[in-house]
């Protein structure tokens, strides 16, 4: 699994997490290895969650910027009751 140092990218962490899950689901790992794999899976899950949260915050900031993407399309603004 990943060594100490720089955290993996989202894609790297997800791929590693999928490998860990497959190994655990196979049922072939001894107890001690299963515990170690579970711990590694939790760490990788945290990395993925952190990366997704960062992306979500960045998207929210971009949407709030002047000239950013609107949350509604032109067609939606013409719907009855939209401004009620």
Structural domains of the chain sorted by starting position, each given as residue range(s) with its CATH number in brackets: 10-64 (1.10.287)
Say what the pLDDT of residue 65 is. 84
Question: In 10 A of CB 44, how many CB atoms?
Answer: 24
pLDDT of residue 71: 56
pLDDT (0 to 100) of residue 78: 53
- What is the pLDDT, as a whole number, of residue 2? 47
- pLDDT higher than 90, residue 3: no
Task: Give Cα 32 distance to the centre of its chain.
Answer: 28
Burial class of residue 20 (count of CB atoms within 10 Å of its CB; 0-12, 13-18, 19+) = buried
Query: How far from chain centre, in Å, is Cα 75?
Result: 32
pLDDT digits (tens, 9 = 90+) for 24-81: 999 999 999 999 999 999 999 999 999 999 999 999 999 998 876 655 544 555 555 5
């Amino acid at each position: 699994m990943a060594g100490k140092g720089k955290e993996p990218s989202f894609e790297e962490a997800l791929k590693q997490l999928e490998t860990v899950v497959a190994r655990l689901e196979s049922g072939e790992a001894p107890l001690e290895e299963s515990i170690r794999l579970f711990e590694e899976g939790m760490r990788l899950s945290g990395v993925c969650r952190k990366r997704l949260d960062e992306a979500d915050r960045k998207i929210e900031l971009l949407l709030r910027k002047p000239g950013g993407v609107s949350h509604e399309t032109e067609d939606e603004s013409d719907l009855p009751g939209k401004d009620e």
